Each structure stands twice: as structure tokens, then as C-alpha cells.
Amino acid sequence: MYNTMIKGLCKVSNNVIAIALLRLMDERGCKPDVVTYNTVIDSLCKDKMIDDAFNLFKEMVFQKGISPSVISYSSLIDGLCKLGGRWDEASKMLQEMLDDGISPDVLTFNILVDAYCKEGKVKEAEDVINIMMLKRGILPDLVTYSSLIDGCCLRGEMSKAISVFDSMSFRGIFPGVVTYSSLLNGYCKSLKIEEAMNLFHEVTRKGLKPDECTCGIILEGLCNNHKIEEALTLFHLMGDSKLSYNIVVYNILKDGASKCGKLDIATVLFQDLTNKGYLKNKHYDDVEMLLEKMDEIGYSLDVSTLSLLIDSIAAGSLDTAMSTLISKLVPDELIDSPSYSA
């Protein structure tokens, strides 16, 4: 019963009450076990309260005489990695785990590999794989390879990333959408858009369905390479309702149009936002009337103004959008007109 209650408290990050309940357990003669401690330690680590987690770990081991498990160490290693800059401590914790005769599983190793790779420390990640994992007979899995590929791409080492990708396939581990997304992002960041497009088409040929993240990566890559028309064509070919209503994707395309000076495309995107209901609130008529008035006096929005307008709409700030439009109107008397006040 206590373990269930503590688990529930930790799920909502109520660590203070969870620890108080752990103390109450002990006082009432219901001794906490490693599962109880692990639950609270893991919750503290997730909330970046790593020092408190270590104190509880020491209490469990040295005061209560409870032997830590793989989960105990994995939680602490994960907590250290997510704090950033504490990889050495995480590595030492892994070594301490091994010295205590507790065998890490692939999940434990993956935590450290992924942390190193996210910081572009590919050499350190490879050392974990080659020196610690393989020597103990633990084989890398999809997550291990995907992290390594992501790290290589982050460093712009695309040849090495492809080599890891090929090695993974050779060992019978088939890449998923996340792995392909890392490679796509690497190609796009390296401005190798043709290679990125070929890889994107490979994803669909293999029967995988690109998710919103994958689509966003390739669209942004095209836009950054001044291929806004191709990006729009691909966007419409995707035909996914979730994608077409994704404001992040609209921002990518809008920014691409702005960078390319394509006011006509930015205008179409603005109209799309309107049609899909992003302007459906009490200010819609005000915005529409103001646009009509601007058209009457022959004022045209430039790309930067329209870009700012769409950003305001996307953020749900119609007042800001109205102010942006009003400030751009040439006749000063319109600014004071009650017909257009937000």
C-alpha cells in the first residue's frame, strides 16, 4: 500500500510528501525496500534534485543496508547526464556500479551514450560502447546506434554517420523514423539537400511513415536552401491533416518565404491560417476590416510585417497582430479611429 501511494505522489512530482511517507513507513515498522527508495530516487532525478537523490541513495545503502539495484544506479546516471556537464560523474557512477558487481543492462549504457552524443562527444560515446558494453557481451541496440548517428550528425560528420547506419543494418537492426530523422537533420544542416531528399524518399519507399518532426526537418532544409516552392509542393503532397494543422510547420514555411522574399507565398500561408481557424475569435472581424482598409488605400504588407503578423497569430496574440497592422498604416488618423481599436 505504501509503495503504491509513494509511486502516485512521485508521478505528480510531490517528492516532499513522498519522502515524508517513506519516513512514516519506517516509523510504523513497515520497512521500505529497494523498490520504495528507487521510486523516490528516480523522481528526484527527473526533477533535477540530484543532490537529494544521492543523499537518499546513501541513506538506503549505508544506513538501511539495502543493496542498490540496476534501477538505482541507472536513475542516478540519468539524472547526472540530464543536468549537463556532469558526464564524468556519470561515468564514475557506472564504474562504481560495475565494481559493486551489478551488471548494467543496455538501457543503462544507452543513457550515457545518448548524453555524450547530444553534446557531440562521439569519441567518449564510442568508448562506452567498445570498452564497457561489448567487452561485457552487451550488444548495442537501435537506441544505441541512433544516438551515435545523432552525435555524428551534430558534428557534421556525415560519412561517419552513414558508416554507423550501414553497420547497424548489417547487424540486422533496422532503422526507424527517429534514426532517419537524425540523418536527415545532419544532411540539411550540412546543406546537402539532394542527399536529404534522396534519404527522405527512401523512408517512404521502405514503408515507414515520416512523422511531423521528420517532415519539419526536410521542409526547413529546403527553405534554408532557398527552395521554398519545392518545400510547398512537398508539403501539399504529404497531405497529412495533422501536418497541415501544425503551426510549427507553418512557421517553417513562413520563415522560408520571408527569407526568399516571396510575399505572395507568405500571403497564401496567412490566408491558410485564416481558413483553418487560427483567427476565429472576437478580433477576427477587426483584423479583416483592417486588411480591407489597407487594400483600399493601396498599402501592401511587406514580408517582414506579414512574418511578424503570422508569428503574433500563432502565439495567440491578436492584440499584437492588430498593433502591428495599425502601426504600418500611413494615414495617422486611422490609428485613432475607434473602428479599428483592438
pLDDT, tens digit, 9 for 90 and up, residues 159-171? 999 999 999 989 9
- Are 332 and 265 in a shared domain? yes
Same domain, 309 and 273: yes
| pLDDT tens-digit profile, the chain (342 residues) | 788 999 999 999 999 999 999 999 988 888 999 999 999 999 999 999 999 999 999 999 999 999 999 999 999 999 999 887 788 899 899 989 988 889 999 999 999 999 999 999 999 999 999 988 998 899 999 999 999 999 999 999 999 999 999 999 899 999 999 999 999 999 999 999 999 999 999 998 999 988 888 988 999 999 989 898 899 888 888 766 555 556 677 778 878 887 777 767 766 776 676 666 655 554 455 555 555 655 665 555 565 665 666 556 555 555 555 555 545 543 444 334 443 333
Residues across the chain:
342
Q: Is there a single domain that holds both residue 202 and residue 233? A: yes
Q: How far is CA 141 from the centre of its chain?
A: 21
What separation, in Å, do the N-terminal and C-terminal C-alpha atoms of the chain show? 56
pLDDT in tens, 173-230: 999 999 999 999 999 999 999 999 999 999 989 999 888 889 889 999 999 898 988 9
**Both 228 and 280 in a single domain?**
no
Q: 331 and 290 in one domain?
A: yes
Cβ neighbours of residue 216 closer than 8 Å, sequence gap 6 or more:
246, 248, 249, 252
Flag whether 207 is in a domain: yes
Q: Which of 241, 272, 290 is the last residue of a domain?
A: 241
| Rounded Cα gap, residues 64 and 318, in angstroms | 59
Residue 264 corresponds to which cell in the numbers above? Answer: 505572395
- Going by C-beta distance under 8 Å and a sequence separation of 6 or more, which residues neighbour residue 15? 9, 40, 43, 44, 47, 49, 52
For residue 232, what pLDDT is reported?
A: 86
CA distance 94 to 291: 62
Supply the range of the domain harboring residue 287.
261-342
How many domains does the structure of the chain reveal?
2
What is the CB-side half-sphere exposure of residue 61 using CA atoms within 13 A?
14
Q: Do residues 284 and 237 share a domain? A: no
On whether residue 48 sits in a domain, the answer given is no
Q: How many CB atoms lie within 10 A of CB 81?
A: 24
Report field, pTM of the whole predicted structure over 0.85: no
Instruction: Specify whether the backbone of 20 is left (phi greater than 0), alpha (psi in -120 to 50) or beta.
Output: alpha
**Would you state the pLDDT for residue 239?**
67
335 assigned to some structural domain: yes
Q: Is residue 326 part of a domain?
A: yes
Say if residue 22 is exposed, middle or buried (CB neighbours under 10 Å; 0-12, 13-18, 19+): buried
Quick check: is 342 in a domain?
yes
Same domain, yes or no: 207 and 237: yes
DSSP letter at 67 equals P
| Amino acid 172: pLDDT | 93
Q: Which of 71, 87, 83, 84 is nearest to 33 (CA)?
A: 71
Q: Does residue 253 belong to any structural domain of this protein?
A: no
